[in-house]
Amino acid sequence: MIVPVILSGGSGTRLWPLSRKMYPKQLLSLTGEHSLLQETALRSSMLKDAAPPVVVCNESYRFMVAEQLRRISIEPDAIFLEPEGRNSAPAITAAAFHVQQKYPDAAMLVMPSDHVLTELNEFGRAVERGLVAAKQNRLVLFGIAPDRPETGYGYICINRGLKTENFCPAAGFVEKPDAATAAAYVESGKYLWNAGIFLFSPTTFLETLEKLEPEIHNCCREAVIKARSDLDFIRLDPKSFSACPSKSVDYAVMEKTDNLCVVPFSGSWSDIGSWDSLMRERKTDEAGNVITGDVVASNVTDSFLHSSGRLIGVVGMQNVVVVETADAVLVADRNSGQEVSQLVETLRRQGREEVSVHRRVYRPWGTYETVDNGERFQVKRIVVKPGGVLSLQMHHHRAEHWIVVKGTAKVTIGDAEIMLREDQSTYIPLGTKHRLLNPGKINLELIEVQTGSYLGEDDIQRFEDVYGRSED
C-alpha cells in the first residue's frame, strides 16, 4: 500500500498578485480546470494500491483545502493542521508518525501540492520502481531529467556507474546554480532536478531522522501524541510543534544520509515557481502569448497577460507579464521571478493587506468581497452556501444593513428570528448579537452595508461558531 502525503504549506510569493498568503498558489487553477492541490490529490488517487491521502496544511486555509478535496470527491485519511510553518521536515515527520501507527507496512509518497506532472502513466511506473527501493528500507527521491539549464531548481548528482534497473545511488545535492553551471550539469548527464518528491517507509524515515535530527523527531512525536481532533481536522499540538527546528527535509535528512537513492523520471514536471515557469505549462497563441480574461493586445509577443475582471490593453511589448486582480496589477519582465518576491516583501513591510488576502475572501460558509469603501462606510457582497451559517457575533464599532439579492436568509437579531427573501432587508444595530443562516438549496447572495467608526475584520466578538473558529 502507498499512503500519499500531500504538503500544502507554501505561499508562492513569486506568483503574486494571484497567489497570496491566505490563498496560495496550490489553491489556484493555474493550468486547467482543477487547482494544483486538486491535481495532486487526483494524481495520487490513480496510483496502484493508493490509500486516501494524508494532507498537512496551514490552519489558516484548512476549510479551503477541505472544500477543494470535497469537490473532487476525495475524502482524505487525515488533514493535519500546522499551528505555524516549520518547513518540510517537521511536516513530513508528523505525517510519518501518523502513517506508522495506522499503516505500519505501507510506504509514504510525499508530494508538494503545487507542482505539475502531466505524464501520469510514466509517473506511476516511476513510483513502482521506487517501491522496490523503499521495500529495501531505502529513502527514495525522484529526480527529473532536465531538458534545459535551469537556475531556479536544485540539482542532485547521481552515480550512474552504480545504477540498477530501478534506481541510482545519490552522490550529492547542489543548490540553485548559476546559468553556466546549470548548462554544464545538463551536458554532463550526471545531474537531475530535485523534484522534492519522496518515497519511503515511515519507520525507515523516522529511524533516520532520530539519528540525524533528534529534536525534530521528538518535538513532532509529542505534537502528534498531543494532537486533538477539530471537526474534520487534526490540530498538531501548538507548543510542541512550534518548538521544532524549522528545516527542510533535504537539509535535515536527505543531504546527510548515506541511504538515499534516486529514481529518474523523464516526464514533464514543473514546480510553477514563477510566471515564466507557469507560461511554459500553458498553450501560446501565434504570437507566443498566453492570454486569459478580458485582454486586448496589439504588437505584443512572448508575454503572459491575465485579467481577472477588468479590461487590460497592452501595446508594443515583448516578454512581459501583466496580471490584473480586483485590487492589484503587476507589470514585470518574464524573467524577474526573484524580483517579484522582493516586491511582495516590500509590500509586506509597508503593511499592505494585498500581500495576504484577495478582495474576495473565502470562509467555511462561503465568501465575501469588498465592493466599495470610504470614510465610515463599507459595502460587501456576501455569498453563503446552502446550509452555511455565520457565527453568532457582535460588533462594537459598526452597524450593518443586509439586503437579500438572491435566495433565502434566516437572520437572528438579538432574541428575534426573521426570514428574508429577495428584495427584503434588515438592520443590525451596533452592539447587537446576530447570526446569518442559509436554509435554502441555492446560494444566498446579499449586500452588506457597514457604517461606523471602525470597520476592520477584527471587530468581531464571537459567541458561537459551528466551525470552531475563534479569530479567522
Statement: residue 140 has pLDDT above 60: yes
Range of the domain at 202: 2-270
pTM: 0.91
27 found inside a domain = yes
410 found inside a domain = yes
E strand or H helix at 306, and its extent? strand 304-307
CATH code (residue 387): 2.60.120.10
Whether 258 and 283 map to the same domain: the answer is no
Last residue of a domain, one of 299, 318, 349: 349
Per-residue confidence band for 374, with pLDDT thresholds at 50, 70 and 90: very high
356 found inside a domain = no
> What pLDDT score was predicted for residue 164?
66
Averaged pLDDT for residues 102-119:
95
- Measured CA to CA, the distance from residue 57 to residue 65 in angstroms comes to 8
Grid look-up 518547513 returns 87
Last residue of a domain, one of 205, 240, 270: 270
Whether 136 and 254 map to the same domain: the answer is yes
> Which one-letter amino acid corresponds to residue 397?
H
Whether 97 and 221 map to the same domain: the answer is yes
- How many C-alpha atoms does 176 have within 13 Å on its Cβ side? 6
Whether 292 and 345 map to the same domain: the answer is yes
Whether 264 and 280 map to the same domain: the answer is no
Whether 112 and 182 map to the same domain: the answer is yes
Whether 99 and 243 map to the same domain: the answer is yes
Last residue of a domain, one of 270, 297, 322: 270
Whether 90 and 28 map to the same domain: the answer is yes
For residue 275, which of 259, 258, 292, 261 has the smallest C-alpha distance? 292
For residue 114, which of 185, 47, 58 has the smallest C-alpha distance? 58
Whether 48 and 114 map to the same domain: the answer is yes
- Measured CA to CA, the distance from residue 170 to residue 167 in angstroms comes to 9
Number of domains in the chain: 3
For the chain, give the longest Cα–Cα distance: 78
The DSSP symbol for 202 reads: H
What is the per-residue pLDDT across 392-440, written as a single tens digit (0 to 9) for each? 999 999 999 999 999 999 999 999 999 999 999 999 999 999 999 999 9
284 found inside a domain = yes
Contact 420, 427 (CB under 8 A): no
392 found inside a domain = yes
Q: What is the mean pLDDT of the chain?
A: 94
355 found inside a domain = no
E strand or H helix at 193, and its extent? strand 191-200
What is the per-residue pLDDT across 149-208, written as a single tens digit (0 to 9) for each? 888 888 999 876 556 667 888 888 888 888 899 999 998 988 999 999 999 999 999 999
Whether 22 and 157 map to the same domain: the answer is yes
Whether 230 and 319 map to the same domain: the answer is no
Quickly count helices (H) and strands (E) in the chain. 11, 30
- Measured CA to CA, the distance from residue 131 to residue 148 in angstroms comes to 28
What is the per-residue pLDDT across 278-300, written as a single tens digit (0 to 9) for each? 999 999 999 999 999 999 999 99
Whether 157 and 45 map to the same domain: the answer is yes
15 found inside a domain = yes
336 found inside a domain = yes
CATH code (residue 225): 3.90.550.10
> Which one-letter amino acid corresponds to residue 377?
F
Statement: residue 237 has pLDDT above 90: yes
